[in-house]
Amino acid sequence: MRLGNWLALFVALVLAAEIARLTRQRALRRERWRRFFKHRTTSWGLGILAFLAIVALAAPLVAPFGPGDQLGIVDLRNHPPSWAFVLGTDVLSRDVWSRVAWGARVSLGIGALGALVAVSLGTLVGATAGYYSRWVDALLMRGVDVGLALPRIFILLMAVALWDGLPFAALVLAIGLTSWLGTSRLVRAEVLSLREREFVVAARALGAKTGRVIFRHVLPNAAAPIIVSAALGVGNVLLLEASLSFLGIGVAPPDPSWGSIIAEGASTIYTAPWTILFPGLAISLVVMSLNAVADGLRDALDPREEAA
Amino acid sequence: MTGTEGPALLRVRDLKTYFVTEQGKGTARAVDDVSFDLYPGETLGIVGESGCGKTVTSLSILRLVPEPPGHILPGSVIEFEGRNLLALAAPELRAVRGNQIAMIFQEPMTSLNPVFTVGDQIAEAAIVHQHLSRKAARARAIEMLQLVGIPDPKERVDHYPHQLSGGMRQRVMIAMALVCHPKVLIADEPTTALDVTIQAQILELLDRLQNELGMAVLLITHDLGVVAGHADRVVVMYAGRVVETAPTSGLFEQPTHPYTEGLLAAVPRIDAPRSRLHAIPGQVPAATAWPTGCRFHPRCPYAWDKCVTQEPPQLETGAPGHTARCWLVTEPERRQAKR
Amino acid sequence: MMAWLVRRLVASLAIIFAVVTFVFILIHAAPGKSCGQIEFDVDPAVCDQLTKQFGLDKPLHVQYWRYLAALAQGNFGYSFSLHRPVRDALADTIPFTLQLAGAALVLDFLLGLGLGIYQAGRVNRLPDVVLSHATLFIYSLPTFWLALILMLVFAEEFRWFPVGGPNDAILCPVVDSLYCVADRLWHLVLPAATLGLVGAAGTARFQRAAMLEVANQDYVRTARAKGVPERRVVLRHQLRNALLSFITRFGLAFPFVLTGAVLIETIYAWPGMGRLAFDAILTRDYPLVTATALIASTVVVVGNLLADMLMGVADPRLRVRASADVEIATA
């Protein structure tokens, strides 16, 4: 690690802490967001997510080496953490910290995009099913039942294994396409209950077209569980991508994603445990933070907690 | 059967129950120095608007107020048959609850456990306090169902709460409360959630049971009509305090406190010409910020400067058993200067 | 009740049927010969022969009907990569997965429920706070990563447990003695613990929330007002209702365990169905793939069915009775 990298890392930390603090300050003014920050862990979660996102974005600045740079195949293999190599080196003498930083881009990127696809699709299907009801609902929900019957990993394994060499975009799409089912059920339930509320009936009575009714009236009120589901969805996608990469069919080595880093390090787990320790901790840190933020969102958006 | 002879069965003195609110909005002083007596065999009505503290008062007696946000201040006294309930250890308190003092609540649907039969829930009180066997307790439950007027008790005993109508559920609640023949029944707005016709039936039932079992009833309600028809004495509460105490007839014939006057005036009369409904101006203040002096002064048509600065104590009005927390008792001439 | 059960059974069968169809289409939609090209070399001549023998060159719908017909007779097809009937391969591996999944689920439910109830009883006090963070952490771990860590710590570092495999290969090639049964259990500990711990963390978090929500209900207050001892209030009134929420989650445990099985079995060299499925997919051994997909979805569907039935038994509000529930209008 060169001085420049330490500096960049420090800046990232401070920036993340500031983001968390400023958001908190702004938020405390409004009742609802005050509930969001009720628990200390939510602020921490937000801060950690901000930090990791910044690291991912600024990977070239915080990482001293490239993810594939082999620094000395003879004597720098499987080096334990030290000042020069903060998280150690792996079996191919690559700097683990650099790989984790660059891998953040891939993993977080897939997580965010995959969750976006999943939530969008899930909301669309769920809202349609909940709003139109009757046979549209029955058809769509039977489809969802079928989709849920087969564990996601089976479908993904098949999809990814049967088409060799899936490009990044296709991987994201595939993960998103298999993750929307749960969201659709959630959205459907919300829409079903909202559909009969007076403001929706009023909108229809005024002649608003169905699409407009759904998007402008129903969905904003159903937003709460969708948002919470999205936050948790990113974590799920992240874990899924890691599992796939670990099995060798997600992001393929030597491209770094946190899952593939663990896969490559699995063979040297006894001699160089740090190669799998840190990427794994990174994953769990992100998922934990997302859960903490989702808890806060749930408290903030729960209509039952609105002051009378 | 009613009467204020002899010692009081339940003596509440200087009861203060405060709640801690979040975000440092201050302490909500829901019950702030409440005192009253309950005599054997009588029905005492506690009347007041929402937010006056009557429900919290009733919960405080059996210490059912959730402890983290709420707490009963030391110095409060709740004496039942001479024992201070607030000083009892947990096992002793449990022996009183449901056994000597029982309570029924406002919402019978949510107050009954949905996964147990009605019979199980009634029998539970008998099992816990009288250590009856399951068979004997079940027989007791059937007896109680019969007592409260539920048809086909032998069948109904195995039904679940969701299979019963609102009125029947409330009857079940009453049965559950009376299994051990308590000396006191606290009824917190027992009929508020029911239809008007069912209300009458339930109240009649309570009257009948009270006569048969000879117990005292603490009837909490916001409905003056209920009080007029079923209470022997009345306590009027406002802003966490008792503002007037009187026998029922005395309260209705000669309301002393302006708040009571306002409540009575707000009831539309069938025998008077139709005019605008009278409402008490203003709103009940928040429990975190009671007004200075007499708490009712911002809304009182008679208030003068003494009312703003000095809080009146309970003053004897002269009529037997009738007290009011109002300076008009000592300065009745101020009544002429009504705004 | 019976009518509902029959309807659900029919629906479940339809779902399984749809899954099999979906898998079938998916496999045949993928490019590449389905003779298996990745793991081993198949002599093109042999491949041709197998193709003709099993009708792999016939049109899709013909293959589909032949498959369904064979399934009806209990014939799952022939595995190319393993050179044996699929049914045999399944018969060998399913028991292993059952052992793993069973042990993991037992750990998941017992530990998870226990922790959730314990935490709810001491809300916001130190044990609860510590456990809340701990369960959040474990719940966020990738299962495969936890497997590696546990293996590193307990198998390699402390040498308390074996590194992998179902049995000691030398002493117990076949489980034929009490010693070998114990040996199997000893080998089962780490894989089952990995899966069970993550599951238990999720269950504990969920159960804690469910217990707390129930604690606020009016009927709990009524029970206390009756003089019911606190312990009974918690265990009888609160728990019974919180279990209802637990049962709804019960169905989710099955897909979780199946997914986990694929990863865990691969890491611990546990010869179960998960690993079989994974290998089969890599080698495009499509009869094996369809069979494992079929089994997996059957497990999930049966799990959901069980959960629904349990729910119907546990929640009296859901019990549909043959006799009419007459609500008498009079009070």
| Mean pLDDT, rounded, for C126-139 | 91
Look at residue C318 and tell me whether its pLDDT is greater than 80. Answer: no
- C331 → closest Cβ in B64, B125, B165: B165
Q: A239 with A165, same domain?
A: yes
- How far apart CA C294 and CA C22 sit, in angstroms, is 10
Residue B173 with chain C: CB contacts under 8 Å: 222
- For the segment A220-244, the average pLDDT, to the nearest whole number, is 86
Averaged over C143-165, what is the pLDDT? 86
* Block residue for tokens 């054997």: B40
pLDDT-derived band at A22 (thresholds 50, 70, 90) equals confident
| Ranges A233-237, A304-308, B89-93, C305-309: which has the least confidence | A304-308
Same-domain status, A46 and A32:
no
Number of other residues whose CB lies within 10 A of the CB of residue B138: 21
Which of C219, C234, C320, C325 should one mutate to test binding to chain B, selecting the residue with the greatest count of B CBs within 10 A? C219
Contact A47, A14 (CB under 8 A): no
Q: Tell whether C229 lies on the interface with B, counting CB pairs under 8 A.
A: yes
pLDDT tens per residue, range A131-184:
777 888 888 888 888 888 888 888 887 777 667 666 777 778 888 888 888 888
The span from the CA of C275 to the CA of C281, in Å, is 10
Q: Does B178 touch chain C (CB under 8 A)?
A: no
At position B310, the amino acid (one-letter code) is: Q
Alpha carbon of residue C48 to chain centroid: 38
Which pLDDT value is given to residue C326? Answer: 38
pLDDT at residue A135, as a whole number: 82
| Predicted local confidence at residue C138, as pLDDT | 93
> Rg (Cα) of chain B, in Å, rounded?
21
- Asked if A91 and A199 sit in the same domain, the reply is yes
> Whole-angstrom Cα distance, residue C37 to residue C285?
9
Nearest Cβ partner for B125 among C226, C317, C329:
C226
Q: Which phi and psi (to 5°) does residue A69 adopt?
A: -70, 120
Which chain C residues are Cβ-neighbours of B114 within 8 angstroms? 219, 241, 315-317
* pLDDT of B217: 94
pLDDT at A308 > cutoff 80: no
3-state class (DSSP) for residue B233: strand
Q: Residue B97 gets which letter from DSSP?
A: B
Q: Among candidates A260, A258, A275, A280, which has minimal Cα distance to A96?
A: A275
Distance CA B331, CA C44 (A): 116
**Per the CB < 8 Å rule, is A157 touching C15?**
no
- Residue-wise pLDDT for A188-201, tens only, equals 888 887 777 777 77
Question: Tokens 């006569």 identify what position?
Answer: B211
Do A143 and A257 share a domain, yes or no? yes
* pLDDT mean by block of 10 residues, chain B; 339 residues: 68 91 78 91 90 89 88 90 89 90 90 91 92 91 92 91 90 92 92 86 91 91 90 92 92 89 82 77 83 88 86 88 89 80
Per the CB < 8 A criterion, the answer to whether B222 and B50 are in contact is yes
* Among A183, A204, A205, A65, CA closest to A130: A183
Q: What would the two tokens of residue A87 be?
A: 């998280």
What pLDDT digit, counting tens, does each position of B111-168 carry? 999 889 999 999 999 999 988 898 999 999 999 999 998 999 999 999 999 999 888 9
Q: The domain that contains A81 carries what CATH number?
A: 1.10.3720.10
Q: Do A27 and A173 sit in the same domain of this protein? A: no
Core vs surface per residue B274-291: b (16+ CB within 10 A) or e: eeeeeebeeebbebeebe
**Per-residue pLDDT at C327 exceeds 50:** no
Contact yes or no for A262 and C148 at CB 8 A: yes
DSSP output for B120-171: HHHHHHHHHHH---HHHHHHHHHHHHHHTT-SSHHHHTT--GGGS-HHHHHH
- Domain that includes residue A60, residue range: 42-307
Tell me the pairing of strands B27-38 and C78-79: unpaired
| Confidence (pLDDT) at C143 | 92
Asked if C231 has any chain B CB less than 8 Å from its own CB, the reply is no
H/E stretch holding A53: helix A40-57
Instruction: Specify the length of chain C in residues.
Output: 331
Query: Most C CBs within 10 Å: which of A249, A284, A286, A287, as the mutation test of the C interface?
Result: A284
Q: What is the tens place of the pLDDT at every residue in A236-281?
A: 899 988 988 888 877 777 778 898 888 888 888 888 888 889 999 9
A173: its two tokens: 């799409």
Decide: helix, strand or coil at residue C123: coil
* Local confidence band at C323 (pLDDT 50, 70, 90 cut-offs): very low
What was the pLDDT predicted at B1?
A: 39
The complex scores an ipTM of 0.85
Q: How confident is the model at residue C321 (pLDDT cuts 50, 70, 90)?
A: very low
Query: What pLDDT does residue C330 have?
Result: 35
Using 50, 70 and 90 to split pLDDT, how confident is the model at A283? very high
> What is the per-residue pLDDT for C265?
92
Residue A217 shares a structural domain with residue A276? yes
How close, in Å, is residue C180 to chain A by CA atoms?
A: 28
Q: What is the pLDDT of residues A88-144, one digit of tens each?
A: 888 887 888 888 888 898 899 888 998 999 999 888 888 888 877 788 888 888 888
Query: What is the model's pLDDT at position C329?
Result: 33
- pLDDT for res C54: 57
Chain C partners (3+ C-beta pairs within 8 A): A, B
C204, two tokens: 């504990």
Residues A191 and A277 in one domain: yes
Please give the C-alpha separations between residue C135 and each of A117, A147, A259, C200, C205, in angstroms, as whole numbers: 29, 29, 22, 8, 7
State the Cα–Cα distance between residues A44 and A63, nearest whole angstrom: 24
Q: Are B143 and B172 in contact (CB under 8 A)?
A: no
* Cβ distance of C222 and B111 shorter than 8 Å: yes
Same domain for A52 and A96? yes
* Residue A46 sits in the same domain as residue A106: yes
Confidence check: pLDDT of C325 > 50: no
Two structure tokens written together for B176: 């559950």
Same domain, A150 and A77: yes
Q: How many CB contacts within 8 angstroms connect chain B with chain C?
A: 94
Q: Record the tokens describing residue A140, joined without a space.
A: 């769509």
pLDDT at residue C30, as a whole number: 63
| pLDDT at C120 exceeding the cut of 90 | no
Query: Is B85 in the C-facing interface, judged by CB distances under 8 Å?
Result: no
Higher pLDDT, A157 or C277: C277
Phi/psi of residue B79, each to 5°?
Answer: -105, 125
CA dist., res. A185 & res. B283, Å (int): 45
Based on the fold, state whether residues A29 and A84 are members of the same structural domain.
Answer: no
Q: Are B194 and B130 in contact (CB under 8 A)?
A: no
Residue A215 C-alpha, separation from nearest chain C C-alpha, in angstroms: 30
> Which contiguous run of DSSP H or E holds residue C84?
strand C84-85
Of the pLDDT bands very low, low, confident and very high (cuts 50, 70, 90), residue C41 is: low
Interior angle at CA C251, CA A297 and CA A230, nearest 5: 25
Non-local (6+) Cβ contacts of C95 within 8 A are none
Strand spans (E) along chain B: 10-20, 27-38, 43-47, 70-72, 77-80, 83-84, 101-104, 184-188, 216-221, 233-238, 241-247, 315-316, 323-324
Other residues' Cβ atoms within 10 Å of the Cβ of residue C14: 14
Chain C residue numbers with beta carbons less than 8 Å from the beta carbon of A247 are 262-263, 266, 278
Structural domain count of chain A: 2
Residues in chain B: 339
Contact B184, B9 (CB under 8 A): yes
Per the DSSP assignment, residues forming a β-bridge with B218 are: B44, B186
**Are A216 and A189 in the same domain?**
yes
**Packing angle, helices C253-268 and C273-282, rounded to 10:** 70
Give mean pLDDT, residues C69-94: 82
Sign of the torsion formed by the C-alpha atoms of C113, C116, C118 and C120: negative
Structural contact between residues B185 and B178, judged by C-beta atoms closer than 8 angstroms: yes
